[in-house]
Amino acid sequence: MQEYGLQLYSVRDAMKKDLPGTMEKVAKMGYAGVEFAGFYGYSAKDIKKILDDTGLKVFGTHTGINELTDDKINETIEYMKEIGNENIVIPGAPIGSKRQQNATLARINAAQPILEKEGISLSFHNHSHEFEKKWFTPIFYPRLISETNCCLEVDTFWAFNAGVDPVEHITKYADRIRLIHLKDGIKQGRCKPAQGMSLGSGDAPVVAVLNKAIELGFRIVVESENQKPDGISEVTRCIDFLKAQN
């Protein structure tokens, strides 16, 4: 049976109140693993114990680019090794000017070989704005592709929202992808912002993306952002949708 991970940002309301109990609920729903979005003050040893107790695998972590600077990267590596994480994902970074883009690309290129030596891959997670040109700032995504060798964690809804065909995109860059975000939502309109939805509730091509991701052998991480009426309800709807596809 296909395994699915959960981006724990989806249940951030519950994680803040009870991290161990929330991860236990996630495991009981049928998620095989998790992608962390912060550790809420828990030590690596404590996180490892919770993972062992729940049987959840670590699919990856969203780790800020500031945690990969020269003065912090060794501490970050130590934490990741303790919890058994082999995939660090930068969830976003400053790219609003060419100077910011240059700094972000330089940090990626400096950190990646250090992480690789420790058996940890480095990926970059997109939103929509990495595909968009604003004023005199270059479009960031082509620069990320051509000026780094980092992996790509494709957020398939945000790519879709930016006018990128997510199935074509993950097929084209399959050799650089270890993880994808399987996400649904309603695309931005002329007078309305984009809106995330639980899987099967929006207008993104979720099933087509899912089938292609399985075919290509990616690890699939579910993310749902709205928490309606709460995170646990949201991700329960998502896993129920996925179970119905099998």
CATH of the domain at 63: 3.20.20.150
Tokens of 169: 């995109």
Report the alpha-carbon distance of residue 109 to residue 196 in Å, rounded: 32
Tokens of 55: 């049987």
- Tell me how many domains the chain contains: 1
pLDDT digits (tens, 9 = 90+) for 43-71: 999 999 999 999 999 999 999 999 999 99
Q: Structural domain of residue 68, as residue ranges?
A: 4-245
pLDDT digits (tens, 9 = 90+) for 145-160: 999 999 999 999 999 9
* Per-residue confidence (pLDDT) for residue 134, from 0 to 100: 82
* Per-residue confidence (pLDDT) for residue 234, from 0 to 100: 96
pLDDT digits (tens, 9 = 90+) for 165-184: 999 999 999 999 999 999 99
Sequence-separated contacts (24+) of 24-29 with Cβ below 8 Å: 24/53, 24/54, 25/232, 26/54, 26/56, 26/235, 27/54, 27/55, 27/56, 29/235, 29/236, 29/239
Position 200 pLDDT exceeds 80: yes
pLDDT digits (tens, 9 = 90+) for 63-111: 999 999 999 999 999 999 999 999 999 999 999 999 999 999 999 999 9
- Side-chain-side CA neighbours of residue 191 (13 Å): 0
Averaged pLDDT of the chain:
96
Stated pTM of the model? 0.96
Mean of the pLDDT values across residues 201-230? 96
Report the alpha-carbon distance of residue 23 to residue 34 in Å, rounded: 8
Report the alpha-carbon distance of residue 174 to residue 52 in Å, rounded: 31
User: In a 3-state reduction of DSSP, which class is residue 12?
Assistant: helix
* Per-residue confidence (pLDDT) for residue 81, from 0 to 100: 98
